[in-house]
A and B are shown apart, each in its own frame.
Chain A
Amino acid sequence: MAQLEEISEISPMSVAEDMIGKHFYEVESDVRVDMNSVRSICAASENANPLFWNDKFAQEVVGACIAPPSSVAAWLRPHFWSPSPNADARALKLHFDLKEVFQVPEGIMVDNELTLYAPVKVGEQLRTYQVLRSVSEEKRVKLGIGRFWVIDVVIENESGERCAVDRYTGLGYRKDSDGE
């Protein structure tokens, strides 16, 4: 394997290292945050927080009507169907790109941490991009042999304020039974 990497002009690890820190898949959401959807989210968790049900109270406490912070990723998802074709709206596309770079057939998310910044306000249209933060050396894990990578999905509002960073640790791997 080492020999193959040496004779190859660009090794998969070099490709991945070159991707680190760059912005990929900058997308503006095709939905706006709306109060009916906010209340549907709250209904599904029987969340009676008056911030999401009482506009006057929300204005007094926050200064705006807002969405539940944990729902931030929902506002980036495309419609179930739309007449405008979206070439590849797959969430976490960078994860699938890395599977291709390293030619590993399996991939899972092993960890996720959502950090919240500016509140998401009703009426806003969010945008997002993905950033590769790190890629590990190849490791043996319970599932086989693979690499861990950390991807940030950065979510901003129309003013460019950061609303959230959804950080995923992915594992791309080859099962022992897959062979070469």
Chain B
Amino acid sequence: MVNNDILLGQVAVGDVLPKLDIDMTTSLIVMGALASRDWQPQHHDRSFAQERNGTKDIFVNTNHNASLIERYVTDWTGAKGRLGKIKFKMKSPVFPGEKLCISGQVSAVHQGEGGIGWADVSVTMSVDGQACTQGNVRVALPVEDDSNPWQIATEEWNPDFAPLGA
């Protein structure tokens, strides 16, 4: 990650984020589940996943999906990008050996208070061209070089100002 912070004025509706490919290994999926303290066996025990869930293998857990989405969006924004909302639906599981392709597009841009603004980004995670997770993220961005969403006063931090895209 190169720490070049995007400013609100550099973002427009329709902007396409750089794609990100990640090889989802067994180790990465197990790591994602256990690091997020999700001990459900379908995320680390292949036999359990096959026999009890009827899936071909273990699969990525919910929190790991969220972490991947966060990483994807903040790779684009830089470290000053501060998440306000995450909403996603998992349509199909992601298994070991699959290459996950994450793509995104800016769906809305909003002016905020305290030197920040907001970008809404629609995010799609796909395997072999099929969307497996789709969601939306609202992220706060600095308006100027010296503004910082992480330092905004609590009363000015309002990610609820409008519904996040469906």
Contact = CB atoms under 8 A, between A and B. Distances in A.
A115 B66 contact: no
Given A40-B31, A49-B1, A73 B63 contact: yes
Nearest to B84: A116
Interface stretch (B47-55, B112-120, B146-154): B146-154
B63 A70 contact: yes
A114 B86 contact: yes
A31 interface: yes
Given A45-B32, A49-B79, A61-B80, A113 B85 contact: yes
B70 to A, nearest CB: 4
A70 B70 contact: yes
A56 interface: no
A62 B140 CA distance: 14
A71 interface: yes
B67 A44 contact: yes
Given A43-B35, A44-B28, A44-B31, A50 B1 contact: yes
B79 A111 contact: no
B1 A48 contact: yes
Q: How large is the interface on B (under 10, 10 to 19, 20 to 34, 35 or more residues)?
A: 35 or more
Given A116-B159, A119-B150, A68 B70 contact: yes
B56 interface: no
A36 B37 CA distance: 13
A100 interface: no
B127 interface: no
Given A57-B79, A70-B69, A77-B37, A62 B63 contact: no
Interface of A: 31, 37, 40-51, 57, 61-63, 68-71, 73-75, 77, 80, 111-119, 161
Given A40-B31, A44-B64, 17 more contacts: A40-B35, A44-B35, A44-B67, A47-B74, A49-B75, A50-B1, A61-B150, A71-B67, A74-B37, A74-B63, A75-B37, A77-B36, A114-B66, A115-B159, A115-B160, A116-B85, A117-B159
28 contacts: A40-B34, A41-B35, A43-B31, A45-B68, A45-B70, A46-B22, A46-B71, A48-B1, A48-B75, A49-B75, A49-B79, A50-B3, A61-B79, A62-B150, A70-B70, A70-B83, A71-B36, A71-B67, A75-B37, A77-B36, A77-B38, A77-B39, A111-B89, A113-B86, A115-B85, A115-B159, A115-B160, A116-B85
